[in-house]
Structures are given as C-alpha cells and as structure tokens.
C-alpha cells in the first residue's frame, strides 16, 4: 500500500506537516488513496458524498471527539477514528474552572458594586459525579485529586477508573444524583444520553448542587435547565455547550439564575489544531505501519 493520505476538505498546514512527518505523502483524493483525514465537522453530508464517490477508502480520521453528526457515515464498512481524548486537557481544565467559578459565585462578584453577601462552596471533600468515562474524565479526576473529592464515575462499561471512589454503570444515575455536590457531564451524545438531564433528574439533585456540561448541549433539555435554575432546584450551572448552539440572543437560558455560559470554547481553534495534528501524526503512522489506531469509533455505541 502506498503511503498516501488525503486531507479534506481543507488542508490545514499543521495536519499536512503531521502526516508528512509520519512518513506519508499528502495527495489529492483519488482512487489510489486509502486514508482520509476529514477536517470539517459541520458538513457530514459532504463526507457522505465523498465516501460514496470513493469506495476504496479503508480509514477515515474524524476531527472531533464527538461523532454524533456522522452517524450515517459510521454505518459503512470503513474504519473510523475520532479525536476522542485528544482535547482532554483543555476541556477538563475548563470544566474545573466553571465549577470553581460557580462555587465561589464569581459571576455575581465580578458585577458587584457593593460588599455583598458572604458565600462559598468548597470542592475539598465534595461528592462529585462525572457522567462519562473517557479521556476528559480521566484528566478531570487527576485535576480533582488535590481536592480529595469523592468521585463517582458513570459509564457504559463496568471497568474501574483510577482515582474514582466508585465506577458505576450509567443506569445508576438516579441513585447517585441526590448525593452529588457537583455533577459534571463529559459523555458522548448518543440515543442513550440525548435529553438525559431533564426536569425529573434536576429535581433529584440537591438544591445546593452545581451542574457542569462540557460534552454536548443536546444531552440536556434546555427548557428544563432554565426551569431548574429559576425554581432553584439546583444552585447553579456552567455550560460550554448548549442546545440549540449557538444559543440565540434573548434565549431564556441567558437570563436564568446563576448560569455561566461559555461559547463552546473549552478548546479553542488554536488548541484543537495543535492537538489534532498530534493525533493525525500518530494515526497516520499507525495506519501505514500496521500499528494500533487511537480513538477507534464503535458504530454501535456511537462514539
């Protein structure tokens, strides 16, 4: 097999360099090319068209950790890899920043013009629930280690996660929510997780608990989150993702009580470009040298 790879639809210089340093030649897509680096998350329809026109492709590298936009493509007999775990560090860092900001009412204090109330919640020895068992969760557990947090991880597989007090299957969510001081969402968007956090689940949480979502907006029922905040079913929420996204101006979530909304910037374009280039280099080398691809997508699980 010739060591040729195509990067479509945009040939970012960093990705071209990474592929070349891995020993591959970057060429225009043709019937001779077996490997494709896909760089556009917003056009799954275009990827489908490319795959229809290029049945010779054996491997496609997708650009983000979440692959929910590509569900139709994933049904093909092609090996797909995603960027899962590639952006784990900045996203986990952002999740921690949101949690600490909520716990110390930073949004309220930065706008204050008077001394105000005394309020703080500590992460030290707090009960933390993390939904999802991937790379973001692994890094978030490491970041939480100095706080001695009691961490419960919910995931699809029963295998334990280092640093967690307990690892449970995701169907135990209702049992652990009432005990949580902080709930982090770091799971893929699938049929199982879509709309997972609704008014019923927010009602299970303590009124003093904080909710942080750095995964996908559609995992949360947005109207129910607004209601949970305004009715003080939970103490506050920090979200880097919303549904719909971008969140329209004037949407009720903007004015909900004790909400922090960041515009999907847990990982910026600069961070993504740098980290995805690393993943491209590793996987291009693995594909052509017969090594182990990182971030293999399971089409049945949807991630």
Question: Considering only CA atoms, which of 269, 271, 292 is closest in space to residue 282?
Answer: 292
Cα dihedral: 233, 143, 168, 199 (round 10): 20
Strand partners, 258: none
Q: Pick the catalytic residue: 264, 270, 274, 279?
A: 264
Q: Pick the catalytic residue: 104, 245, 251, 274?
A: 245
In degrees rounded to 5, what are phi and psi of residue 166?
-150, 150
* Alpha carbons 248 and 274: distance in angstroms, whole number: 30
Q: Do 140 and 163 contact (CB within 8 A), yes or no?
A: no
Strands 35-38 and 59-61: parallel
Q: Pick the catalytic residue: 34, 88, 94, 216?
A: 216
Nearest-Å Rg of the Cα atoms of the chain is 21
Strands 182-185 and 4-8: unpaired
245: annotated active-site residue: yes
Strands 166-169 and 210-213: unpaired
94: annotated active-site residue: no
216: annotated active-site residue: yes
* Alpha carbons 36 and 28: distance in angstroms, whole number: 10
Q: State the sign of the Cα–Cα–Cα–Cα dihedral 150, 154, 155, 158.
A: positive
Q: Please give the positions annotated as active site.
A: 216, 245, 264
């Amino acid at each position: 097999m010739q060591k040729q790879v195509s990067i479509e639809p945009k040939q970012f210089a960093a990705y071209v360099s990474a592929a070349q340093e891995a020993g591959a030649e970057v060429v225009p897509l043709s019937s001779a090319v077996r490997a494709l680096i896909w760089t556009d998350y917003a056009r799954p329809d275009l990827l489908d068209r490319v795959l229809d026109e290029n049945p010779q492709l054996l491997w496609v590298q997708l650009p983000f950790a979440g692959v929910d936009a590509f569900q139709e493509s994933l049904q093909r007999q092609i090996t797909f890899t995603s960027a899962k775990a590639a952006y784990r560090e900045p996203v986990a860092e952002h999740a921690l920043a949101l949690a600490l900001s909520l716990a110390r009412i930073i949004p309220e204090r930065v706008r204050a013009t008077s001394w105000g109330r005394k309020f703080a919640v500590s992460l030290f020895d707090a009960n933390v629930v993390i939904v999802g068992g991937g790379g973001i969760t692994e890094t978030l557990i490491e970041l939480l280690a100095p706080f001695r947090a009691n961490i419960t991880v919910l995931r699809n597989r029963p295998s334990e996660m280092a640093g967690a007090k307990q690892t449970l299957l995701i169907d135990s969510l209702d049992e652990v929510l009432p005990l949580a001081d902080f709930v982090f969402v770091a799971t893929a968007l699938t049929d199982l997780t879509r709309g997972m956090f609704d008014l019923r689940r927010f009602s299970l949480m303590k009124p003093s608990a904080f909710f942080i979502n750095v995964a996908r907006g559609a995992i949360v029922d947005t109207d129910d989150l607004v209601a949970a905040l305004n009715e003080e079913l939970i103490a506050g929420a920090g979200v880097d993702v919303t549904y719909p996204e971008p969140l329209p101006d004037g949407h009720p979530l903007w004015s909900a009580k004790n909400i922090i909304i960041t515009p999907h910037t847990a990982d910026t374009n600069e961070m993504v470009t740098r980290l995805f280039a690393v993943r491209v280099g590793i996987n291009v080398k693995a594909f052509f040298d017969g090594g182990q691809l990182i971030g293999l997508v399971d089409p049945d699980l949807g991630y």
